[in-house]
Amino acid sequence: MVELIAVLLLVGVLAVVALPRLDGSLGLRGTAWRDQVQAGLLQARSLATGHRRLVCVTVTIGAVRLAMASANPASSCNTTLPGPDGDARWAVDPQSLAVTVSPAGTLFVQPDGRITSDGAGLTAVNASVAIAGETTLQITGETGHVR
């Protein structure tokens, strides 16, 4: 009986110590995903201005994908850009946290760094990317600034 009480007491102490740490590390996953999305958006702007080509950014639950136009001028992207690890995704969220992009759909990064809602670059758009439990990323269309 004494051993059973000792084991239960030990399990209780471990639960009190370990669960808050586990919860804290799970909370960091959302922050890491938000940072990956932000890095993908910044990389898209850098690629568009550096290569003077249209770059298309698609943010979905669990992935950020980039594609680039093979020629300039262009109104659509036809070349998938592999991410840092060679995968077609620039950012990956294994948790598949809810992501809301406003306006919905693909964001087009023009060669001059502007973010537009169309490939032709006619309408600069201020966009936002909301990730469950994290602060929203704000994108300024005229400058391409991501904060």
Q: Does residue 39 contact residue 47 with C-beta atoms inside 8 Å?
A: no
What CATH class does 30-139 carry?
alpha beta
What's the alpha-carbon Rg for the chain, to the nearest Å?
21
CA atoms within 13 A on the CB side of 145: 4
What per-residue confidence (pLDDT) applies to 106?
A: 94
Residue 68, beta-bridge partner list: 55, 79
- Each residue's pLDDT, cut to its tens digit, for the chain (147 residues) gives 899 999 999 998 888 887 666 655 555 677 888 999 999 999 999 999 999 999 999 999 889 999 999 998 899 999 999 998 898 898 888 878 888 898 999 999 999 999 999 999 999 999 999 988 888 999 999 999 998
Q: Look up tokens 């406003």; give the residue.
A: 102
d(CA 3, CA 9) in angstroms, rounded, equals 10
* Residues 6+ positions from 3 with CB-CB distance below 8 Å: none
Write out the H or E segment, with its range, that includes residue 22.
helix 2-51
What per-residue confidence (pLDDT) applies to 98?
A: 83
* Residues 6+ positions from 33 with CB-CB distance below 8 Å: 91, 93, 95, 97, 131, 134
What per-residue confidence (pLDDT) applies to 137?
A: 94
